[in-house]
Chains A and B, each alone.
Chain A
Amino acid sequence: MKPAPQICFTGSATIDGKQLFAPLTLNINAEQWTCVLGPSGVGKSTILRLIAGLDTFVSFDGQITADDGQSLSGRVAYMAQSDLLFPWLNVADNVGIGASLRGEKVDNDRVAKMIARVGLTDHTNKKPASLSGGQRQRVALARTLMENRPVILLDEPFSALDAKTRSEMHELAAELLSKRTVLLVTHDPAEAARLAHTGYIMQENGVTRMDMPDTTPVRGYDDPDTLNCQGALFRALRGDTPT
């Protein structure tokens, strides 16, 4: 894998002349997790889609740069809220789909390794319909790892999971996606408190950088630092205290 770059996102976006988000700057540090936390509809996912080079319905005025000066095209992997597993393919074929889509030969040994890393070796030949929500997101994580991209964009990928599975996925994702530049968009303060090296609260008037604990993620869900941070993020999100 190529070295993970630092990304700077700066700019504003409008939809049909109406402002979606005011001018803002996000510094997404290399080889760290950056979380953008905010309510629905403020443009969090739009930022992520703009970085991924995906279609948006907005007019973006700004720039997205990597510190190595190279384009982000081909260096980004994407995980969405829905696992986006193809129901007609089994676990192994879903994990290796990237190579198939590029017309390349699928490295079956590597596929098996990635499936083993997410603990699903026994389910290799199963179709997604026979897996639980947590297992499906693990497959999606294995598929993301298989792409071996230095930049990972996560659009609320754990939000549909139950609390226990979600906390387990936090730990697995933090372990497997270390040494990569990760941008996580979420509306869950607890998730941001556990996973983020750097945290931003995004609201209609822009973003605010939040103080995160000095400890290294992934933080314990009942760690006092995590709980304090979670509370602070919640307050900021609700506008209960000046930020």
Chain B
Amino acid sequence: MKVLVVEDDPRTRDFVAGGLRQAGHTVDEAESGSAGLDLALVEKYDALIVDRMLPGCPGLDLIRTVRAQGIETPCLMLTAVGAVEDRVEGLNAGADDYLVKPFAFSELLARLQALGRRPPLAQQPDCLRVGDLEMDPAAHSVSRGGKPIDLTSHEFRLLEYLVRRAGQVVTRTMLLEALWGFHFDPRTNIVDAHISRLRAKIDRGFDVELIRTVRGVGYAIRAPQ
């Protein structure tokens, strides 16, 4: 992926850009909003990572300008303020996702991958498949190896979220936000508790575990190679 990182703090910029290069991405860096805007308008990127508070041109203005030019490059916004109102403002300005500082790099990477591979809604297949797991969101049915599995609507949504991002790491924060609308850190391990119940239904009694734990990051559903 070719990514543009617009961030004025040099240490954060080096951290993000360096990490992305290590993960195999091509990275352009800009240290001010105006420089970032020039690059975003001229070059073609797969994703933008934009800090919200920038000298020259605030992140929100940058994204509005980019979107006004008809450029639909996925954009992840970084910020130190993470209240719901701020998120809403950022998303309304045209950002696709929002990450609050301080963040774990793995979280950034997971979200960036989710953005980059987000398929257009129209192209989503009716039936989702991971290995021998089949899932039909319209019919609300799941089966593994031809054996139907009974899931609560809650478990179904969790599984669907994972399956639609099969092969990608999904962080706990992403699950909390997407499934339960939590924009705060719960003190208890609610995600893990739900995953363990889903696992009991999906993986128990099968030789191959589909739902994997990615240490310190989150979970991923993956078909065996």
A binds B: no
Taking Cβ atoms with an 8 Å cutoff, the residues of B that contact A are none
